[in-house]
Structure 1
């Protein structure tokens, strides 16, 4: 696939990133090739390499530098230039299932007719082409004409055009442009509105551009987007009224009043700013900087020797860039692409058959896509926890689901300000002061009246964030809940046992982990809830685990694990597994199941051929049910650590509505995946209020 434009300034990296995301959902091995590069670092390739864990040697990712290409074309002609680039491309193509080609950037290249060169390379590579047109600061009619001209130019040159994408269009013109182009052009046309956060430089980029000294600020603060600049020279009240969320205050370094006042406002969240830029090589004394660091820990304060106005000239020409050091911009870009491009329709036009393997990245991509397809609301009781806030940031940027965070809103706002996170649109509720508290107390008292719970006692209980969140799910104010990053498993799931309770037909609540290995996804159950299930419970766990696997695209072939395979062993533990297998076959004869069976015989075809040669499950099992919690928990952790598997879970099953627990060591990505899973679990239920 060849992504190219027609001129500079189209912000094409958003499309490059979106297409790479699509391709990595389909196939395991995607290569990247840029025909021509400048002599500066290729920031986009670095981003793709880090984000998509590419093993490709960077030296193979480009054809030649622009100055070499210009000299070769001048001396030996275009045919020789194209021939050499085609040879370089095929060196990459032979090692990958698909190659994403990043077209030339039209940046002072000294190459005549660069558009025609891109068209010819796409044809010689045998690549389908996506044409990107920039719409920044252009009227709708001009954008439509430019898009039509781009399609016509590449069509005349014989290209196989997959789509035309307009990027950075004015938000108010987006629908009109999309409608007109769809009616006018014979290929799909998509229009992405301009997103200020993508063009905004980070504090680090500002600092590097100006050669500024960093006086204060941690990595998180330096990664904040600078959405605007406010120049402060007036009295403090006037400056405070001019501050906007995400702005950087530029002021002479001797204005300690503005430094302390702006940081105090930031600490209060009114408004959260990106940081301060001090000019004139004036630096506050140590006492001021100490107070500043305590008022707003992590908030950047940087200093430059120049005056405010010379500094302004450099700042206003500065634009942010996608690179490996700006992962949050990448999330914003992908969210923008996925909201405005029919990704399923675009994939349908690409002749890329999905690989039979399911990699961890593919599994995670599919989770977000499924969650996004039928939007749900998930409540996160640990609303002030940093990892939860960072996960919420990703979920909002990727437009995965609606969120409710529980906790003191003032505390949450201060933490989001310190982290440089914008959670606009996320609902914040304080259980202690919420108008829902009395209603929930009365409901909980009714549910637990048989245990002697009064309304007065319930009023205290429901102020606990996990009880409050569970009651939100019960009452249809949220579709699911995810907690446990700082709470124990018992504290997270006990409220669901008391309030939501088990689904009809389920005898126990159990759990599974999705174990994402290098080439497949296995489902392990139960590894988190039931210490020593009996045969009846083990059968229920197997049936639930098969249903969960199927729900998430894993074809269920169930292995009931034991230390014995087939009829080779005996004893109480083996007999329990044998009885559970019999119960599953009686209740759900359509399920493919084998047991008792040892782990190696369940997953390794060569072992299965010896031990159970006629089994349709042995050697191919996808759902592995452990006989007890001790075995299951230790096995999943051993596989996770020794095989480098990504363990997603635990995912609870058997409840009437989805509540899921996190490990207290959960990473941000774990929380994102678990929230997506929770949203998907709720999609089979009736929509909530």
Structure 2
């Protein structure tokens, strides 16, 4: 392995994970896996290994077993995979692709909690599904937040074919917006290696390593074959099991004819009762006139005759392995013909050869430096959703849902309770709600149901509202009637600490939902207004849009407050805020009252919060597109990579979020209210069950943050 101690001030690697995926069948990604794992083991702390899908149990997965044994990983094999192939097929057949990704993500995050670094190795493509398998691996890598390391098969390919594969790969990675660590062309013919290295352009964003093929590594060992067909080992030490098998020969002929066909490295396959072939193989091995075979495989559930066994035992250490299987000779030969090379922890010779080959052709020092510098900031919707759920579950909150007899609310409540995310109270007529739950065949064990009309809390809430609003000439009887309304009752539950947050709006208007909060809960210290944001979950990132729901035409001061609150909201949900103050003009070019308002808002926000990356005015394309930003604002720290978008007015914001949502298929979570003392959030009347679940989870996290330390 190269001397990495030459690196300046060696430090542990940052917590960035690697995802190795073969672009096609037989790419030889296990060799690259070994070298990368060796590199990580020398410099990282706790290392984990993960496979998204395995074909069998983890106890029989050769990669998991090999890596576990060689590197003495502390995690059990059950923690090192997402799901098995049968589970994956069932989910895909039921068109639950996202659920499959969520299952894999949950298992990966559980392992991540125990490890500083994880090496992931993707599911192997086959000829009939190579394109789907590779794109699936890209989706998994994106959702796990890993740097991708694709491995292209180079064996038996011309220079033109390899170059075409690289161009196609580059296009695919760009389409999927993948974070690339490096690409490896593995197994290229040695005579092409230097030519390819000189032909490929130097592209720091698309580094390519060429690893030539080694015939010795492309052949299975006797041990590989024994493992693959579950053969019984009659004799043969570890050294014998490591012998490479160059060919296999079926010996069903007389000894003289058999000897004419023997070649070096042969695995001889013969029925177990052919003592003559067994004896001839032993004699040929020790004869200077015949080549040395790799091993002997006896078929038909027959062992050598006792006399032959006695003779073999008397020779001491058998020079080659003698294996046995139950299947017939023809079936066994067909099975052996399909077996390729594999790595296993006992074959130190092959491991050393593999490491020497890869490390001689991949600059491991450069790879490690690139790993340290390539920090993925990707947040996919699945990652965002998973993180939200885990944060909400860490400290369960009590959320009240005023629209207790609405079907979507009930279905969302079932999901939240089954996943043990929050405690829920439904408001409404209890008998009607129970009947609705029964008719929908829902499981809502443990849910509380309160009818505001008959609740013993109604008088307390009326007194509280009366005291808070009597300066507005509200009388007690009016207050008593008003708190029977589910929105007022739910808001008072939150205000008095009987619930931690409220979500409504699936049936009621925005005004009906949030007016009680303005009157009772009011703004928190330091917040002059209540505004809103949407979390816009695009394919590969989550953006924050504000204000798209509350303030119709904010002045400069209000716009500055919206920007500051939106930045704080983004950071509280692990989105690094880079705030773009949007207008119809970018920089200093535009004139007019509207753009001047945005300029003044930028000045105010920057003076109040100089710690924020906040710039404007800028147009939407300059804020979101790096190529446009280079032209319009080349020195900007925000343009082209903004994460928080502040619109100049409600008309622009509301139309933009809906246009992005409908045209791109983005998931819009919100509106999420910001600036209140306690969390109350509004739903769109067109919301889905998923929208409700996400909004409740976000409300629970807001409640955690609002709770006293």
TM-score normalised according to structure 1 size: 0.55
List gaps (5 residues or longer) in structure 1: 1-25, 34-55, 64-83, 106-113, 130-154, 167-187, 190-320
* Residue number among 101, 104, 107 corresponding to 2:53 in the alignment: 101
Change (3 A) 1:607 1:28: farther
* Residue number among 106, 118, 140 corresponding to 1:350 in the alignment: 118
Contact 1:546–1:623 (Cα < 8 Å) also in 2 = yes
What's 2:464 paired with? 443
Is 1:474 the counterpart of 2:495 in the alignment? yes
Contact 1:30–1:98 (Cα < 8 Å) also in 2 = no
Change (3 A) 1:668 1:348: farther
Aligned length: 418
Distance in 2 (alpha carbons) for counterparts of 1:28 and 1:543: 35
- 1:568 match: secondary structure: coil
Is 1:163 the counterpart of 2:75 in the alignment? yes
Q: Any idea what the Cα deviations from partners look like across 1:227-250, whole Å, max 9, x if unmatched?
A: xxxxxxxxxxxxxxxxxxxxxxxx
Distance in 2 (alpha carbons) for counterparts of 1:162 and 1:102: 20
Contact 1:482–1:674 (Cα < 8 Å) also in 2 = yes
Change (3 A) 1:428 1:612: same
Is 1:541 the counterpart of 2:562 in the alignment? yes
Distance in 1 (alpha carbons) for counterparts of 2:583 and 2:113: 46
What's 2:428 paired with? 407
Is 1:122 the counterpart of 2:64 in the alignment? yes
Contact 2:410–2:437 (Cα < 8 Å) also in 1 = yes
- 1:522 match: secondary structure: strand
Contact 2:392–2:700 (Cα < 8 Å) also in 1 = yes
Distance in 1 (alpha carbons) for counterparts of 2:623 and 2:389: 30
What's 2:694 paired with? 673
Is 1:630 the counterpart of 2:582 in the alignment? no
Which has more radius of gyration? 2
Distance in 2 (alpha carbons) for counterparts of 1:28 and 1:490: 48
Shift of 1:581: 0.6
Change (3 A) 1:90 1:637: farther
Distance in 1 (alpha carbons) for counterparts of 2:389 and 2:503: 16
Contact 1:470–1:481 (Cα < 8 Å) also in 2 = yes
Q: Any idea what the Cα deviations from partners look like across 1:353-374, whole Å, max 9, x if unmatched?
A: 6443111111111111111112
Distance in 2 (alpha carbons) for counterparts of 1:322 and 1:641: 26
What's 1:491 paired with? 512
Shift of 1:342: 5.5
* Residue number among 354, 360, 365 corresponding to 2:381 in the alignment: 360
- 2:474 match: secondary structure: coil
Matches within 5 A, 1:360-379: 360-379=381-400
Change (3 A) 1:121 1:569: closer
Change (3 A) 1:674 1:162: farther
* Residue number among 649, 657, 662 corresponding to 2:678 in the alignment: 657
Q: Any idea what the Cα deviations from partners look like across 1:488-541, whole Å, max 9, x if unmatched?
A: 101000010000011122121100011111222111100001110011111110
What's 2:483 paired with? 462
Distance in 2 (alpha carbons) for counterparts of 1:334 and 1:433: 43
Contact 1:380–1:483 (Cα < 8 Å) also in 2 = yes
Q: Any idea what the Cα deviations from partners look like across 1:180-203, whole Å, max 9, x if unmatched?
A: xxxxxxxx99xxxxxxxxxxxxxx
Shift of 1:647: 0.9
Contact 1:604–1:620 (Cα < 8 Å) also in 2 = yes
Contact 1:377–1:401 (Cα < 8 Å) also in 2 = yes
Change (3 A) 1:30 1:357: farther
* Residue number among 669, 674, 680 corresponding to 1:648 in the alignment: 669
Shift of 1:595: 1.2
Change (3 A) 1:408 1:90: farther
Q: Any idea what the Cα deviations from partners look like across 1:262-302, whole Å, max 9, x if unmatched?
A: xxxxxxxxxxxxxxxxxxxxxxxxxxxxxxxxxxxxxxxxx
Contact 1:503–1:656 (Cα < 8 Å) also in 2 = yes
Is 1:585 the counterpart of 2:537 in the alignment? no
- 2:641 match: secondary structure: coil
Contact 1:162–1:349 (Cα < 8 Å) also in 2 = no
Contact 1:123–1:159 (Cα < 8 Å) also in 2 = no
Change (3 A) 1:28 1:687: farther
Contact 2:547–2:562 (Cα < 8 Å) also in 1 = yes
- 1:163 match: secondary structure: coil
Shift of 1:655: 0.6
* CA RMSD of superposed structures (Å): 3.8
Contact 2:510–2:682 (Cα < 8 Å) also in 1 = yes
Distance in 2 (alpha carbons) for counterparts of 1:159 and 1:422: 45
Change (3 A) 1:670 1:425: same
TM-score normalised according to structure 2 size: 0.54
Distance in 2 (alpha carbons) for counterparts of 1:383 and 1:29: 45
What's 1:50 paired with? none
Contact 2:20–2:29 (Cα < 8 Å) also in 1 = no
What's 2:442 paired with? 421
Contact 2:18–2:119 (Cα < 8 Å) also in 1 = no
Is 1:607 the counterpart of 2:628 in the alignment? yes
Shift of 1:678: 0.4
Distance in 2 (alpha carbons) for counterparts of 1:430 and 1:403: 14
Is 1:554 the counterpart of 2:584 in the alignment? no
- 1:350 match: secondary structure: strand
Shift of 1:410: 1.7
Shift of 1:163: 3.4
What's 2:584 paired with? 563
Distance in 2 (alpha carbons) for counterparts of 1:656 and 1:544: 13
Distance in 2 (alpha carbons) for counterparts of 1:416 and 1:89: 52
Contact 2:586–2:632 (Cα < 8 Å) also in 1 = yes
Distance in 2 (alpha carbons) for counterparts of 1:422 and 1:468: 25
Distance in 2 (alpha carbons) for counterparts of 1:28 and 1:468: 51
Shift of 1:164: 3.8
Distance in 2 (alpha carbons) for counterparts of 1:605 and 1:322: 37
Shift of 1:687: 5.7
List gaps (5 residues or longer) in structure 2: 1-15, 35-48, 81-89, 121-144, 147-375
Change (3 A) 1:567 1:678: same
Contact 2:587–2:618 (Cα < 8 Å) also in 1 = yes
Matches within 5 A, 1:278-293: none
Contact 2:580–2:616 (Cα < 8 Å) also in 1 = yes
Change (3 A) 1:322 1:522: closer
Contact 2:412–2:693 (Cα < 8 Å) also in 1 = yes
Shift of 1:665: 0.7
Distance in 1 (alpha carbons) for counterparts of 2:511 and 2:30: 56
Distance in 2 (alpha carbons) for counterparts of 1:28 and 1:454: 66
Contact 2:54–2:61 (Cα < 8 Å) also in 1 = no
Distance in 2 (alpha carbons) for counterparts of 1:632 and 1:28: 38
